[in-house]
Structure 1
Amino acid sequence: MSRVLVTGGASGLGAALVARFVAEGHQVLSTDVAAESAAPDGAQYRQLNVRDAADWDAAVAWCEENWGGLDILVNNAGIATGGRIDVESLDEWDRVVDINLMGVVRGCRAFTPVFKKQRSGHIVNTASAAGLVHPPMMSSYNTVKAGVVALSETLSHELHPYGVTVSVVCPSFFRTNLADSIQGDDTEMGASARRLIEKSPRTADEIAANVIAGIKKQQFLIIPDRPALLAWRTKRFARPLYDRQMRKIAARARDRAEAPQPSAEAAAGER
């Protein structure tokens, strides 16, 4: 039985992971930014804002006082974002970097001393297929998720002498409430991302099942669905095809952005 902490555990993939860890008999601490949230029977809940170093220190203290340490840290909390480089604001860049990248960094920094002292532990960082393949109009999201992949690979080597393993999770779109976190000035790209999330045939529970299987095997790179795997393999082994696909997406976005808009008078006439 492992001691597991999951961030972003109140909804989406985090909630699905919490439920599966509990079902397998592990001790689970579900955390999220809300002061209170329901957790499955067998799990405990604690408020943790991944942007707040003091919250991370308190989570470490809780695990040491109540469990005597931690076995699996799942840095899962994150938001959706995206937009064209000349449309998305720098404030939105700051927000997604602080949550999706620095939130993971803070978690790794907080619990690494615990894992080093134990000479054991497993860090699981949720990135995205966008950390491996980089579609246009998603600069900020691609950048932070690629950063999570790079951080995870770095730590997989750095912490190996201490008996600590690292996994990074890279799913494609699946149905969740992640779209509710979309903000920013590029509303057209935000609407496109929402459609891709809400129309996906994959559920958070299906992704969670594959993630848990990868954790058990101590896989470094966990790609839990077929579309993400195909996109990654296309980039690696058929780069010209990958480039053509990405440029077609960009060209369609250009055409939509430059298409003549109906005048107010014409729009009123249509109504």
Structure 2
Amino acid sequence: MTNRIFITGGASGLGREIALRWARTGARVCIGDVHDARGATVLEEIRQAGGTGLFLHCDVTSTADLQAAANRLVTEWNGVDIVVNNAGVATAGTLDAEPIEQWEWILNINLLGVVRGCQAFAPLFRAQRRGYFVNIASMAGLVHPPGMGSYNASKAAVVAFSETLHLELANENIGVSVVCPSFFQTNLAESLRTTDPKAAANVQKLLRRGRVTAAQVADSIFNAVQVRQFLVLPHKDDRKTYLMKCYLPVRSYLQKMTKLTSKSFGRPRAVPDAPKGA
């Protein structure tokens, strides 16, 4: 059966590349996005790439929009095989530079948008007795640089939620992948909210320096879904960093990260002794 896939935030950036990657296999690709004009453009690109396209105006902060998308796909395609919770935004700033409203904004989109997507489509997957969730997190959800507290927290929560979901759905033929790319060239900076110019400049620099393209990340996601791989780390260097975090003693890891980030966020400070058992 040709895959039927729904992608939030599918009208640009990584979402667009995921849509085109599946379209090249002849899949039926539905993109949900708040940007209607961009959606129309990507819809035509999906068709040119060999897929069958559908665009739905969809805001991931709206439970009603996501439920309407699930209902529409039942009507149009008799269901859906893969749901990619991709829509997301960016923030930056240190603890004293991020107002609580900025935290609430990003958590509502990056975390609760994923939760809403899973809640809307899980009943459909159960009725079909099959399905697959792809939740887009970030390397910032595994390794947490300074100056990005709310963004790090939102993506770490997506990782935790995805692991929980994987365990809850393991016996129902519903798969889960969580994708943790590092910075790559995309339009994420368009959504960036910050009151800290220095933090904004750091994020922009990291995006420009990204050596992996959005298309390559989409390829990694496509390959991971074929083998039902849970944790997807598209950047080779990030796999080493994640292993370092997993295996180094906590104090040694924090000392190393303090030195690595000190140029951007001031002089390194001594790391307090870790509690026993840490």
SS in 2 for 1:30: strand
Residues 183-202 of structure 1 aligned to structure 2 (within 5 Å): 183-202=193-212
Letter in 1 for 2:254: D
Distance 2:217 2:265 in 1: 33
Q: Look up the match of 1:228.
A: 238
Q: Look up the match of 1:244.
A: 255
C-alpha contact (below 8 Å) 1:172/1:227 kept by paired residues: no
C-alpha contact (below 8 Å) 1:136/1:249 kept by paired residues: no
Residues 118-197 of structure 1 aligned to structure 2 (within 5 Å): 118-197=128-207
**1:227, distance to aligned residue in structure 2 (A):** 2.3
Show CA shifts across 1:62-86 (max 9, x none): 1110111110000001011121011
Q: 1:211 to 1:234 in 2, by over 3 A?
A: same
Distance 1:255 1:204 in 2: 31
Letter in 2 for 1:236: C
Q: Look up the match of 1:203.
A: 213
Distance 1:253 1:225 in 2: 22
C-alpha contact (below 8 Å) 1:165/1:218 kept by paired residues: yes
**1:249, distance to aligned residue in structure 2 (A):** 4.5
**1:136, distance to aligned residue in structure 2 (A):** 1.6
Q: Look up the match of 1:25.
A: 26
1:50 to 60, 66, 78: 60
**1:177, distance to aligned residue in structure 2 (A):** 1.0
Show CA shifts across 1:181-236 (max 9, x none): 11121221111011100121211001111111111110011111112212111101
Asked if 1:91 corresponds to 2:101, the answer is yes
TM-score by length of 1: 0.90
C-alpha contact (below 8 Å) 1:174/1:204 kept by paired residues: yes
Show CA shifts across 1:231-269 (max 9, x none): 11110123455322321245434438xxxxxxxxxxxxx
Show CA shifts across 1:92-126 (max 9, x none): 11110001000000000000110111110000000
Which of 230-239 and 109-118 deviates more? 230-239
Letter in 1 for 2:253: Y
Percent of counterpart pairs with the same letter? 41
Distance 2:261 2:243 in 1: 21
C-alpha contact (below 8 Å) 2:146/2:265 kept by paired residues: no
Show CA shifts across 1:108-157 (max 9, x none): 00001101111100000000011111112211111111110111111111
Distance 2:125 2:265 in 1: 48
**1:26, distance to aligned residue in structure 2 (A):** 1.0
Q: Look up the match of 1:214.
A: 224
**1:158, distance to aligned residue in structure 2 (A):** 0.8
Q: Look up the match of 1:113.
A: 123
Q: Look up the match of 2:5.
A: 4
Show CA shifts across 1:2-44 (max 9, x none): 1100111111111100000000111110111113321221322
C-alpha contact (below 8 Å) 1:149/1:168 kept by paired residues: yes
| CA radius of gyration, larger in | 1
What RMSD over aligned residues (CA atoms) do the two structures have, in Å?
Answer: 1.4
The number of residue pairs the alignment matches comes to 256
Unaligned runs of 5+ in 2: 268-278
Distance 1:250 1:177 in 2: 24
Asked if 1:65 corresponds to 2:75, the answer is yes
Distance 2:77 2:172 in 1: 20
Distance 1:27 1:254 in 2: 46
SS in 2 for 1:176: coil
